[in-house]
Every structure is written in C-alpha cells, then in structure tokens.
Amino acid sequence: MSFRFPRFPVSAPVRDTGPMMTTTMAASDPGPIGLRAEAVGMTYRRGQHETVALAECSLDIPRGTWASLIGASGCGKSTLLRIFADIVKPTAGVATLHGLSPAQARANRTFALVSQQSTMLPWRKILGNVELGLEVAGAQPVERRNTAMQMIELVGLAGFENAYPHELSGGMRQRAAIARALTLRPQFLLMDEPFGALDEITREKLNFELLRILRETGATMLLVTHSISEAIILSDQVAVMTPRPGRISHLVRIGFGHDRTAAMRDDPRFTACEAELRHALHGGAPLH
Amino acid sequence: MTDIPLVPAMAAAGPDEPSRIGALLGAVLPPAACLLGLVLLWAVGSATGLIPFYFLPAPQAVALEFVNNTEVLVRHGTATLTEALSGFVIGNATAVVAAAVLSSVPALRDMFYPYALVSRAIPIIVFAPVVVVLLGRGYPPIIAIVSFTVYFPTFLNMMRGLAAVDADLDELLHTFSASRRQRLFLVSFPTAVPYFFAALKISASSCFISALVTEWIGANVGLGYLVVVSSQYFKLASLWAAIFTSAGLTLSLLGLVHVAEHLCGRFTATAAEMDA
Ligand SMILES: Nc1ncnc2c1ncn2[C@@H]1O[C@H](COP(=O)(O)OP(=O)(O)OP(=O)(O)O)[C@@H](O)[C@H]1O
Ligand SMILES: [Mg+2]
C-alpha cells in the first residue's frame, strides 16, 4: 500500500498513568480534548417500560489517543457509541467531540461510525457501498472511486469490489464497512465490534493494519470489542463497563506508546494488563 | 493481504443455456396445452350446438372476424390503447411524485395523507358522466378517469414503500449527514421498487378496465364502444373479437411490466434476496 493519509496536525501525547505505567514517560498532562462523555445517562422508554442503558457514564479520550470499551453484552457499549455518533440523544449529561456536540460533529463530518451490523445497501456492489460516504459528501466520481479501491485493497477485499454484500461472508462485510469508514478520513473513528466476525489471524492482521492507519491519520478512536487482547493491542486506555445501569467501573491504562508490533503480546506488561482486565470484567474491585 | 479463497463473485454466473430453455418450455407448454384443449372444447361445443351461437359464436367465426374486420379492430384498439397507456403513465408518474413529496415533507403528509386515504373510497367511475360534461367527449375525460384509477394504488404503495426503509440504512445515511434528497434517491426509491411494481401490476389491468367502461359512457370510438355497439346490433363475433383484443392488450402490458421488473430487479434488493 503506497497510499498515505494526510497527517493530522495535532500532536498526540500519550497518557501513561495508573498502575500499568512502567517504562514510558510519566506524562500526567491531560492532552488536547477529544472524545468526552460527562455524566452521560441514557434511559430508553417504551410506553411504561424503562431501560436504564447508561447512568453517570464519564469518559475522556484525549485527541489522537485510542480507547476501547469492554463489558458484558447489553451493558450499554453500543449506546455510548451511538450517542457520540448523534444517532440517539442522551437523556442526561453531555457528550462532545473535540468540544462540539455530536450533532455539530456530524454536520462537519468529523467522525465515521462502523456499526455493529456492518450495514450495506443490498442492491449495490461492494465498490458502490464503500464509495457511499464520499458520494454523500459530494466527492468527485474519479476521486471517490480511487479512494474506495485503495481502502478495499487495504482491508484485503481486492477482487470483491463487484460482488454484492449478500455474496460476502460476515467478516468480509465488516471489512467493507471499515473500508467505507476509512474513505472519509475521519478525525474520530467510532467502531462497534468491527472485527467480531473475523478469525484470530485475520483479526490480528487487521488490528495492526488499523494501528498503522491510526498513526498515519492521528485519528482518535473509540472501539467496542469483546476481546481483551484486541482491546490492549488497540488502546491507550480500556474502559470496563458493568451492566444495569451501564457505567464505567474500571479504567485501565495501557502503557505501550503508539509504536506497537506483534511482539507486544510477549511483553510481561501485556499479560499483566490482560489479568487486570479479566479481573475487572468479572466484577472485581479496582486494583488501583 | 488476501485470504479466504472464495471464487470472485461474478464467476458464479447464471445457469447454462440448455437448462434455461428447458425451464422455459416447462413453463410454457402446460398452459399452452390447456389453452389448446379449451379452444377444442369450444369448437366441439359450438359445432354440436351445446354452446348456443347467440352466447358464444364458434372459434372460427371469431377468428374470421379478426381477418375480415382487422381495420375496425385496429382503429378501436388504438383508441383504447392510447387512453389506457396515457392514463397509466400520467397516473403512475403523478403518484410517484406525490408520494415522494409527501413522504419527505412531514408537514405536508400530515395535512394531505388522511384525504388521500379517504378519497380511495370514492368509486371514481361514477364521476365519468360529470368528467365528460366538464372535459367534453373524446380522449381527455377518459384519460383523466384512467389516470385517477391508476393513481391511488400506486400512491398508497409508494407511501408504504418509501416508509419501509431499513432502520440501519437510515442510521447510516444519518451519520453521513445525507440530505433529504440524497436519502430519497439513495435509499428510499430503491427500497420502494418492489412496492412500485406491485402497484404497476394492478394498474396494468385496471387502466384498460376503466378505459373500456368509460368508453361505454362517453365515447364513439374504442373497444368499449365497439362492445356496446356490437351487442346492440347483435354482432356477436365482433363483440368477442373486441373482448379478446382488450384481453390481449392487457396481457401485453402486464407482460411488459413483468419484464421491466425483472430487468430492474437486478439493481434492487429483491433480486439479491431472491437469488440468495
Ligand atoms: N432502541 C432501544 N430501545 C430500547 N432499549 C434499548 C434500545 N437500544 C438498546 N436498548 C437497551 O439498552 C441496553 C444496552 O444496549 P446496547 O446495545 O448499548 O448494549 P451493548 O453493550 O452494545 O451490547 P452488545 O455487546 O450485545 O452489543 C440493553 O439492555 C438494551 O436492551
Ligand atoms: Mg452493541
């Protein structure tokens, strides 16, 4: 891949605080404001029935850094992502993207969402689907075709651009959805289990491919995943959520900096992070 | 990086030719045999006097009518075809535009949709005499009536089709900050295509029916007029020739709609789902 993103003009200091901090610099400076949720609450109402999906949920992801959300199914991870993407409005608190409301951020096209369903227009071929975001944004046909083809190649779908979505496997559709999000060169990348349907090997390949793209674009990412190791590989901080009501119970900082290779898995710190996250997921008291 | 050695999509193309021809024959032969049998029964019935000639003349008499009176049938057939097709096009086009406007402007929909629903209950054909008085004899009143009959099923189906957009697709376009117009053309219209064709199939026959009936009331040309005149003068062969001609025209339009749907289906959801 020779394609390069325009570099994002904001430096991205990494916050390395908390118990996992070991070797990297101990910067406590909070970094430029990125994704921020302040006491966000979300109560779904259907007639008399109420579901409290989120309560007092606060999260701060400095610009240019990466965060993951893990937690049991139904604990409100997608809901938080959908609040940032301006699909639902929180019933309490505020969510901001670089200081802007989700509605403003959407109007400025600063974020891209890869939804849990990897939604595609069933009557369009993969190329047409990957082009869709740029098409809506008013890009020229040649430009959007070229960008779409580059992204299709990047996610390993070259040769499938003329297939219809229903002709692809679930994992391939997920990769097409990622390609579509990347064509928009978003400052904020919101991803809801984007690698959920992939095998371990493809998943890890794409994890490191995504890391490269994140470094090149300087994008800020919020990722929902069910895989602890994926959360560690792709994050500066991992937020653990507990259900009913959904809130963030633990925040684990991953002190690996941004130059990561597959070798990080063998690092003892990786295993330590894994242990702490597993402990947190099972409802343990914070270790710090 | 490439993985998953799946055959690139287009390689797995349609079925090979012989089986397709076989399938076509299998679909055409049984009904053709049935039709032949019916005509034979009809011929035998007429020859033996079981079917009285004043009810249904013998098949050869009707066939002879087509040969001897071609010019008359063509003249009246052309008139009916013109009225039915004009009404078909005008009614459907108006319905699509009205549904698109109403479904993208909620305020307008709230204002007009109840009336659109209520007006369906009005039997339009009873207004034919009034319309004839208003627009005079000839094509205009008939085309107006036909357009009206065609309009309602298409309008209602399009309203439903445009509203049937998948919630996930709606969210996708929302996060892209798509305009109303973009949503309409990128998602709503393709979603509504199956609904549109369902309505076209209804209107393909109803446009001929309402053209024929309106001709009874206020025209001096057209197959409906020919039917009335033939029965008055007891020209039964001519009557049945007119009936068969209008049936043939209706079936042709219906066939065209099916072909169009098949061609269009390649670009819409239905095709993908039917093949899957
Ligand atoms: N549109 C909605 N209406 C009513 N309740 C909803 C709606 N969307 C989500 N919920 C409820 O909110 C809670 C959180 O849902 P959410 O989709 O955010 O969970 P999740 O953490 O993403 O789960 P998963 O890991 O299975 O994707 C669930 O209890 C769900 O039933
Ligand atoms: Mg979810």
DSSP H or E segment with residue A92: strand A92-97
Q: What is the mean pLDDT of residues A211-225?
A: 89
Residues with CB under 6 A from ligand 1: A 44, 46, 51, 53, 73-79, 116
List pLDDT tens digits, range B32-85. 899 999 999 988 988 888 888 778 888 888 888 888 888 999 999 999 999 999
Cis peptide before A245 (omega within 30 of 0): yes
- The answer on pLDDT for A183 being more than 90 is yes
Q: What is the mean pLDDT of residues A91-109?
A: 91
- The answer on pLDDT for A17 being more than 60 is no
Q: Which residues pair with A188 in a beta bridge?
A: A111, A220
List pLDDT tens digits, range A227-263. 998 999 999 999 999 888 888 888 888 888 888 888 8
User: How many A×B Cβ pairs under 8 Å?
Assistant: 79
For residue B267, list chain A residues with Cβ-Cβ distance below 8 A.
123
Query: With bands split at pLDDT 50, 70 and 90, how would you rate the model's confidence at B263?
Result: confident
Residues A64 and A233: their CA atoms lie apart, in Å, by: 16
List pLDDT tens digits, range A30-55. 568 889 999 989 999 888 888 888 88
Sheet order of strands, A111-114 included: A111-114, A188-192, A220-224, A66-71, A237-242, A247-253
This prediction has a pTM of 0.80
Q: What is the mean pLDDT of residues A197-210?
A: 85
* A187 vs B11, higher pLDDT: A187
Q: What is the mean pLDDT of residues A163-180?
A: 91
- The answer on pLDDT for A114 being more than 90 is yes
* B128 vs A16, higher pLDDT: B128
Both tokens of residue A212? 């490269």
- The answer on pLDDT for A274 being more than 60 is yes
Residue-by-residue DSSP string for A60-88: EE-TT-EEEEEESTTSSHHHHHHHHTTSS
Q: Which residues pair with A240 in a beta bridge?
A: A70, A250
Is A67 exposed, middle or buried, given 0-12, 13-18 or 19+ CB atoms closer than 10 A? Answer: buried
Query: With bands split at pLDDT 50, 70 and 90, how would you rate the model's confidence at A16?
Result: very low
Report pLDDT for A19: 40
List pLDDT tens digits, range B50-65. 888 778 888 888 888 8
Report pLDDT for A13: 38
- Which among B41, B22, B21 is positioned nearest to B33, based on CA atoms? B41
Report pLDDT for A192: 93
Locate the domains of chain B by residue range.
Answer: 1-51, 54-275
A134 φ/ψ sector (left φ>0, alpha ψ -120 to 50, else beta): alpha
Q: Which of A42, A77, A195, A248 to mutate to test the pocket of ligand 1 (most atoms within 8 A of CB)?
A: A77
Is the CB of A119 less than 8 angstroms away from the CB of B4? no
- The answer on pLDDT for B18 being more than 90 is no
The proportion of chain A whose per-residue pLDDT surpasses 70, expressed as a percent, equals: 88
Q: Which residues pair with A57 in a beta bridge?
A: A40
Both tokens of residue B268? 């819409």
Shortest-distance atom of ligand 1 to CA A79:
18
Q: What is the mean pLDDT of residues A155-171?
A: 90
- The answer on pLDDT for B143 being more than 90 is yes
- Which among B135, B149, B33, B38 is positioned nearest to B87, based on CA atoms? B149
Q: What is the mean pLDDT of residues B261-266?
A: 78
For residue A167, list chain B residues with Cβ-Cβ distance below 8 A.
9
Smallest Cβ–Cβ distance between A156 and the set B1, B172, B186 belongs to B1
Q: Which residues pair with A246 in a beta bridge?
A: A54
B176: closest chain A residue by CA: A133
Query: With bands split at pLDDT 50, 70 and 90, how would you rate the model's confidence at B115?
Result: confident
Report pLDDT for A67: 94
Report pLDDT for B236: 87
Q: How far is the CA of B46 from the centre of ligand 2 (A)?
A: 73
Q: Is A38 helix (H, G, I), strand (E, B) or coil?
A: strand
Report pLDDT for B54: 78
DSSP tag of A265: G
Report pLDDT for B267: 56
How far does the CA of residue B193 sit from the closest CA of chain A (Å)? 11
Architecture in CATH of B54-275: Orthogonal Bundle (1.10)
How far does the CA of residue A175 sit from the closest CA of chain B (Å)? 12
DSSP tag of B124: G
Cα→Cα distances B263→A279, B194, B268, Å? 58, 12, 10
CA B113 to chain CA centroid, nearest Å? 24
Report pLDDT for A30: 53
Is the CB of B166 less than 8 angstroms away from the CB of A132? no
A42 φ/ψ sector (left φ>0, alpha ψ -120 to 50, else beta): beta
Both tokens of residue B162? 């445009």
DSSP H or E segment with residue B39: helix B17-48
Cα→Cα distances A269→A21, A23, A255, A274, Å? 9, 10, 8, 8
- The answer on pLDDT for B157 being more than 60 is yes
- Flag the least confident range among A56-65, A217-226, B108-117: B108-117
Instruction: Name the A residues in 218-257 with CB < 8 Å from any B CB.
Output: none
Shortest-distance atom of ligand 1 to CA A226:
25
Report pLDDT for A10: 36
How far does the CA of residue B111 sit from the closest CA of chain A (Å)? 27
Instruction: Please report which residue ranges of chain A form alpha helices under DSSP H.
Output: 77-84, 102-107, 126-137, 141-154, 170-183, 200-217, 228-233, 268-281
- Which among A27, A2, A1, A23 is positioned nearest to A14, based on CA atoms? A27
Q: What is the mean pLDDT of residues A153-168?
A: 91
Both tokens of residue A154? 């990047």
Report pLDDT for A120: 94
What amino acid occupies position B251? L
The proportion of chain A whose per-residue pLDDT surpasses 90, expressed as a percent, equals: 43
Report pLDDT for A285: 57
- Probe site for chain A from B2, B6, B168, B176 (most A CB atoms < 10 A): B176
Cβ–Cβ contact A109 with B under 8 A: yes
- The answer on pLDDT for A185 being more than 50 is yes
The proportion of chain B whose per-residue pLDDT surpasses 70, expressed as a percent, equals: 89
The residues, any chain, with a CB within 8 Å of residue B259's CB and separated by 6 or more, are none
Are A233 and A48 in contact, with CB atoms under 8 Å apart?
Answer: no
Number of H helices, E strands in chain A: 8, 9
Are A5 and A212 in contact, with CB atoms under 8 Å apart?
Answer: no
Smallest Cβ–Cβ distance between A113 and the set B2, B175, B271 belongs to B175
- The answer on pLDDT for B152 being more than 70 is yes
Q: What is the mean pLDDT of residues B180-195?
A: 92
Q: Which CATH superfamily is domain A21-110+186-281 in?
A: P-loop containing nucleotide triphosphate hydrolases (3.40.50.300)
Both tokens of residue B168? 């996930």
Report pLDDT for A119: 92
Q: What is the mean pLDDT of residues A119-130?
A: 93
Buried b (16+ CB within 10 A) or exposed e, B3-36: eeeeeebeeeeeeeeeeeeeeeeeeeeeeeeeee
From atom 4 of ligand 1, which residue's Cα is the shortest distance away? Answer: A44
| Mean pLDDT (chain B, rounded) | 84
